[in-house]
Amino acid sequence: MKLSLLKHDSVISSPSIHFSQSHQTHPLSSSSSSSSSARISNFQTSPSFQRLVSLSTNKRSVKKVFSFNPKSSLGERKNSDSPSQSLRRLLESPGIHQGPACYDALSAKLVEKSGFDFCFMSGFSVSAARLGLPDVGLISYGEMVDQGRQITEAVSIPVIGDGDNGYGNAMNVKRTVKGFIKAGFAGVILEDQVSPKACGHTRGRKVVSREEAVMRIKAAIDARKESGSDIVIVARTDSRQAISFEESLLRSRAFADAGADVLFIDALASREEMKEFCEISPLLPKMANMLEGGGKTPILNPSELEQIGFKIVSYPLSLIGVSVRAMQDALTAIKGGRLPPPGSLPSFEELKETLGFNAYYEEEKVYATSQPLSQRASSNVYSIQQRNQDDTEQRGQSQLDPVVEVITPEVYYGADGSKGPFSGIWSRTLRVKVTGRDGTEKLEVRIPAGFLEGITNIVPALGGVNIKSLLDDAAEEPGGKKLLDFNDTMGDRIQVFLE
């Protein structure tokens, strides 16, 4: 049995056991005090409880004896927990947790395959990948939700979405949060910038008033309640760069009082500022943003960030950055008449495995039929052409000769020898000719004029043409006559003659 001791209170939790030495609950816990009491009564009489009590007099000793493995626990809960529940369990677990920022379904799958427990969706990267435009408020709520839905459907790990500034006032924030919930996000980051917003760590950032910023967080929490969800609300302020460090601390405290789940100050400028930020509202997890390539915030390794007091850390530019550089290098190689070097280019088999081709093939076998589709008779004109070419080769004719298929009328006589309503023209023949756009003869077929059923199986372009009416008009005319001459949607010339 694996247990963990929460960092900031006296609650000891496990996947199946919860009890508290006080009535205080962790801000991220969704368990009620009544359900906890019920679990306590069932557990207090067990030998495990007695051993636990003997250890609980010293928090540090408990923490050393009982360990928690978030990866294995999250893996066991993937099928039962919602994305937000998985993220909350991760936030409650010891240590710092790294979340690379993805921008589409493929990059998210790569994050999961690399063993990360969660990831972020980066607005900067989505704007770059989806629009090819800078992150300056040009991408819309609808585009972000659509991209996010594709991301969350591609992975089983929780994803924190970038809700920007909520795309408007508090009412817009409510719609944004509800949309992100429906899209499958585990959390959403909401910032206090004006519209249009500016990208983090760039110039020109402006924020709304502190009161309006708090109202956005309250609106987000109301939207969560109205949706019956427990999506994690990450409250971000850009006031450190727009106003001052002191203002960013005041706003973070106000966000915590309003009910935010995670606090985030963007563009902190020093270790000292990072440490001071982590000291406010100690029960709430703090988010760090390691802007690769040179931003305002010092780049620290995970152990340093954990020591300061951060719980989650994002890496917003790594995936989009290396992707851009790799594509530039590959295009340079191709333009120079080369291929990208093997070290930078995965094999085709590796690509197929990454994208799930092999898993698809295995599942496809479940639905396989006794006769593969490729062996069934095809109604496509080009299948007929290939069959006619094979027959021509067997007869020793050149492939350049016209392909002719003759269907004798005897096979269509009725049982009593009658020839049906077209007996007057039964001795006549329809010749159907198909000529390609390049002038090559693709098909020439002759059939009895009285046999119209199935002609569209030979030439689909004849579907909807009333050939019977044309035959009625031409039935009494001696000699041959051209009934149709037109180009189909593929540019092929279709001709029908009555001989």
pTM beyond 0.85 = no
Q: What would the pLDDT profile of 40-80 be if each residue is shown by its tens digit?
A: 444 444 443 443 333 333 333 333 323 333 333 343 444 57
pLDDT of residue 79: 53
Asked whether the predicted pLDDT for residue 6 surpasses 90, the reply is no
Token digits of residue 189:
């980051």
CB atoms within 10 A of CB 103: 24
The predicted pLDDT at position 461 comes to 66
d(CA 182, CA 157): 16
Asked whether 321 and 295 are in contact (CB, 8 A), the reply is no
- Torsion over CA of 469, 470, 471 and 472, rounded to 10 degrees? 50
The pLDDT tens digits for 311-345 are 999 999 999 999 999 999 999 999 999 988 888 88
SS3 content of the chain, % helix, strand, coil (to 5): 45, 15, 40
Tens digit of each residue's pLDDT (9 = 90 or more) over 439-484: 888 888 787 766 665 566 666 667 667 776 776 666 555 556 788 8
Q: What's the pLDDT score for residue 50?
A: 42
Q: 256, 236, 252, 290: which is closest to 96 by C-alpha?
A: 290
Is pLDDT above 50 for 148? yes
CA dist., res. 472 & res. 17, Å (int): 86
Give the model confidence (pLDDT) of 368-395 as tens digits.
886 554 444 444 444 445 555 555 555 5
Statement: residue 278 has pLDDT above 70: yes
pLDDT of residue 464: 64
Location of structure tokens 């594509």 = 327
Q: Which fold has domain 83-325?
A: TIM Barrel (3.20.20)
Percentage, residues of the chain above pLDDT 70 = 65
3-state class (DSSP) for residue 230: coil
Band (29; pLDDT cuts 50, 70, 90): very low
Strand partners, 5: 12
Sheet holding 262-265, edge to edge: 262-265, 232-237, 187-190, 159-162, 119-121, 97-102, 312-315, 287-289
**Lowest pLDDT segment from 345-349, 419-423, 425-429:** 419-423
Q: Is the pLDDT of residue 287 over 80?
A: yes
CA distance 119 to 162: 11
Q: For residue 277, is pLDDT > 70?
A: yes
Residue with tokens 């109301």: 222
Report the distance separating Cα 441 and Cα 439, nearest Å: 6
Q: Strands across the sheet with 18-20, in order?
A: 4-5, 11-13, 18-20
Q: At what angle do helices 348-355 and 357-364 cross, to 10 degrees?
A: 60
What would the mean pLDDT of 199-215 be, rounded to a whole number? 83
Of residues 299 and 499, more confidence is placed in 299
Which of 286-295, 327-336, 400-409 shows the lowest per-residue confidence on average (mean pLDDT)? 400-409
Residue 200 has pLDDT above 90, yes or no: no
pLDDT at 347 > cutoff 80: yes
pLDDT tens digit sequence for 103-142: 999 999 999 999 999 999 999 999 999 999 998 889 999 9
Inter-helix orientation angle 348-355/105-113, to 10°: 90
E runs forming strands in 159-228: 159-162, 187-190
Question: Residue for token digits 């020898």?
Answer: 417
- Specify the pLDDT at position 422: 46
User: Sheet holding 404-406: strands in order across?
Assistant: 404-406, 441-448, 429-435, 493-498, 481-487
Range with the poorest average pLDDT among 8-22, 150-164, 422-436: 8-22
pLDDT at 421: 47
Report the C-alpha gap between 31 and 145 in whole angstroms: 30
**C-alpha triplet 195, 200, 206: angle, nearest 5°:** 40
Cα angle 97, 322, 150; round to 5: 65
Instruction: Of 20-29, 116-125, 269-278, 433-442, give the lowest mean pLDDT range.
Output: 20-29
The DSSP call for residue 122 is P
Residue 213 CB: number of other CB atoms within 10 A?
Answer: 24
Instruction: Return residue ranges of the chain for CATH 3.20.20.60.
Output: 83-325
Burial of 96 (0-12, 13-18, 19+ CB in 10 A): buried
Does the structure show a pLDDT above 60 at 300? yes
pLDDT of residue 499: 77
For residue 213, which phi and psi values (nearest 5 degrees)?
Answer: -60, -40
Strand pairing class (11-13; 4-5): antiparallel
Can you state the angle between helices 105-113 and 141-154, rounded to 10 degrees? 40
Q: Are 161 and 136 contacting, i.e. CB atoms less than 8 angstroms apart?
A: no
For 22, 29, 136, 282, 346, the CA distances from 60, given in Å and listed in that order, are: 18, 22, 47, 19, 47
337 CB burial (10 A radius; 0-12, 13-18, 19+): exposed
Lowest mean pLDDT among 82-91, 122-131, 189-198: 189-198
SS3 489: coil
pLDDT at 408: 43
Q: Kindly list the distances between the CA atom of residue 104 and the CA atoms of 291, 346, 352, in Å, as whole numbers in the listed order.
A: 19, 19, 18
Which value, in Å, is the radius of gyration of the alpha carbons in the chain? 35
In this prediction, what percent of the chain has a pLDDT beyond 90? 52
Q: What pLDDT is stored for residue 49 in this prediction?
A: 41
Contact (CB, 8 A) for 162 and 143: no
| Alpha helix segments (H runs only) across 336-445 | 348-355, 357-364, 381-394
Which pLDDT value is given to residue 483? 80
How far are the Cα atoms of 132, 167, 262, 333, 464 from residue 328, in angstroms, in the given order?
Answer: 15, 33, 37, 9, 51
- Which of these ranges, 150-159, 184-193, 416-425, 426-435, has the smallest mean pLDDT? 416-425
- At 245, which amino acid appears? F
